[in-house]
Structure 1
Amino acid sequence: MIRFTKLHGNGNDFIVIDEYKAKVIQDDEKPAFASKYCDRRFGIGADGVLYLGISDKADIRMRIFNPDGTEAEMCGNGIRCLVKYALDKGYIKANAAVETLAGVLSISSRRNDRTWITVNMGRPEFSREKIPVKGTGEFLEVGMHGYKVSAVNTGVPHAVVFVDSLDSPELFNTAPEIRYDPVFPKGTNVNFVRVNSRDEIAVRTYERGVEAETLSCGTGSVACAAVAHRLGKTGSKVRVNTKGGELVVSLKDGTAFMEGAAERVFDGLI
């Protein structure tokens, strides 16, 4: 039997497998496990599987596998869920560090009626080499598939598109075209953004690996805030409204910080 815990961050939901004390799923079986159990009809249902392990670089280690079996470098909502689980188990304290494929990220947490976690997301990368995007320089407001597209890496690659309305079904017909465009050698997540004010934006995200819209994307929210600020559309601190809830993103001296809640849904055995 395999124990698991289901958690979510703003409706972006994950299966957590605890490998802090011993490996549960062999590495070569992790992709197939994610594909099977992320299925919402024949499995547990989730936007990804998180593996919590020990680290020689940080307090804990996070690996994340998407429903299509690919491994992602990082996940903003996922790291909050992993931290929530580790806090509940007593593996870490309120201030800790998490090793990811995108680097070691520091976190802090506070609790009232919910667990609120702030993640130091590092410096958003705008150079094409770091995103990656073919070519040199920055990829800001480039015409693609009928839209002006900007790109940034906030742990994983993101395309950001500013629109007047988030309600058009055409947006998510176009999202796969941008996601798979050859200009992005490793593919990209696609975010549509409406600017509400200097300190508030609304975001919808089509996620690479999920290949569909999710209720929230942490790295995507940071990407949208970073691009909006770089283009002068917002200030350095914004409230990001997603379908699943709210995040707060702050940019300080080029570094992005993301705060949001994470909640346990249930525990189970498979």
Structure 2
Amino acid sequence: MLIDFFKMQAQGNDFVFLQSIPDIEPEILAKNICDRHFGIGADGLVYLIDSEIADSKMIIYNSDGTRAMMCGSALRCAAAHLFDKTATTDLQIETDSGLKSARLENDEIHVNMGTPRLIQSGLKLMDFTGELVDIGNLHYIIFEDKPLIDPHLEYGHQLSTSKLLPNEANVHFVSIQDKQTISMKIWERGAGATLACGTGAASTVFAGIKLGKLDNEVKVFIPGGELKIALNKDGSLDLIGTVSKVFEGSYIWKA
């Protein structure tokens, strides 16, 4: 059985996209396709299908087969693909976290991530104190006074799966360079260490603004490159950055 796909990346956060849903359990297919040794290799599998209420519908599965409520990087990739296929520069995408709007401006994809919610400030997990933010998925954000060497690799999984959290969360270790510039190290629930996390960048800037640490427009440096986050007047956040299509083809599925 051949499964047509295309692969896209946003600052190294990479996804395999399908435009139809094959008769295969998505959890099994996601783990198979996302395997970097025996599959195509990706941080997630995305179904980009027809929607009755938007320009398209996006369903995301992490590389471990779990379903993700939201992914800013995948959302930008999906929007870029749709922009490439149409003449429009504005569209809406249906997600498990509701409708998300996107626009194309100067070769950058802008997606409105909505308004995050600060679930708990100063939440202590292990030896860390962080901010717990919900932006459609959960993020635990640690602003580091003294940056550690790859703390996400050492502590990311334990923090992400802590029993003190309402659900598993993405984890970010953040270094503030100034009020307009930060850098992040990322551990994603269901994917592990990744090069980028759009919802994480937006959640981090939101938390930083709440704490008075950051301004309303921030450059976010991540292992895979650079993103921009802008706070809108209505309190929502725009996630801004470039994406690219890597390749397309047909995947051989052997049941």
Following superposition of structure 1 onto structure 2, how do residues 17-96 of structure 1 map, counting pairs within 5 Å?
Answer: 17-19=18-20, 24-26=21-23, 29-90=25-86, 93-96=88-91
| Distance in 1 of aligned mates of 2:228 and 2:147 | 20
- The aligned amino acid for 1:246 is E
Q: Corresponding residue for 1:135?
A: none
In 2 relative to 1, CA 47–166 (structure 1 residues): closer, same or farther, beyond 3 Å? Answer: farther
Q: Corresponding residue for 2:212?
A: 232
Q: Is residue 110 from structure 1 mapped to residue 79 from structure 2 by the alignment? A: no
Q: Per-residue deviation at 1:168?
A: 1.4
Query: Which of 223, 234, 237 is the matching residue for 2:203?
Result: 223
Query: Which of 113, 119, 138 is the matching residue for 2:111?
Result: 119
Q: Is residue 194 from structure 1 mapped to residue 143 from structure 2 by the alignment? A: no
| Distance in 1 of aligned mates of 2:105 and 2:27 | 33
- The aligned amino acid for 1:142 is L
| Distance in 1 of aligned mates of 2:165 and 2:148 | 26
| Distance in 2 of aligned mates of 1:10 and 1:80 | 11
| Distance in 2 of aligned mates of 1:36 and 1:207 | 19
Q: Corresponding residue for 1:260?
A: 241
| Distance in 2 of aligned mates of 1:247 and 1:221 | 8
Unaligned runs of 5+ in 1: 129-138
Q: Per-residue deviation at 1:165?
A: 4.8
- The aligned amino acid for 2:213 is K
- The aligned amino acid for 1:55 is S
User: In percent, how many aligned pairs have the same letter?
Assistant: 34
Contact 1:166 1:204 in 2 (8 A): no
Q: Corresponding residue for 1:101?
A: 96
Q: Is residue 4 from structure 1 mapped to residue 5 from structure 2 by the alignment? A: yes
Q: Per-residue deviation at 1:60?
A: 0.6
In 2 relative to 1, CA 264–172 (structure 1 residues): closer, same or farther, beyond 3 Å? Answer: same
- The aligned amino acid for 1:160 is I
In 2 relative to 1, CA 45–165 (structure 1 residues): closer, same or farther, beyond 3 Å? Answer: farther
In 2 relative to 1, CA 171–14 (structure 1 residues): closer, same or farther, beyond 3 Å? Answer: closer
Q: Structure 1 runs of 4+ off > 3 angstroms?
A: 164-167
The TM-score normalised by the length of structure 2 is 0.93
Query: Which of 126, 151, 160 is the matching residue for 2:132?
Result: 151
Q: Corresponding residue for 2:159?
A: 178
Unaligned runs of 5+ in 2: none
| Distance in 1 of aligned mates of 2:89 and 2:146 | 39
Contact 2:152 2:193 in 1 (8 A): no
| Distance in 2 of aligned mates of 1:13 and 1:164 | 30
Q: Per-residue deviation at 1:170?
A: 3.9
Query: Which of 152, 162, 167 is the matching residue for 2:143?
Result: 162
Q: Per-residue deviation at 1:166?
A: 4.5
Contact 2:150 2:185 in 1 (8 A): no
For the residue of structure 1 that corresponds to 2:242, the secondary structure is: strand
| Distance in 2 of aligned mates of 1:263 and 1:166 | 31
For the residue of structure 1 that corresponds to 2:43, the secondary structure is: coil
| Distance in 1 of aligned mates of 2:45 and 2:142 | 28
| Distance in 1 of aligned mates of 2:79 and 2:26 | 20
Contact 1:153 1:223 in 2 (8 A): yes
For the residue of structure 1 that corresponds to 2:25, the secondary structure is: helix
Q: Per-residue deviation at 1:141?
A: 1.7
| Distance in 2 of aligned mates of 1:248 and 1:12 | 15
Q: Per-residue deviation at 1:110?
A: 2.6
Give the RMSD, CA atoms, in angstroms. Answer: 1.4
| Distance in 1 of aligned mates of 2:13 and 2:212 | 29
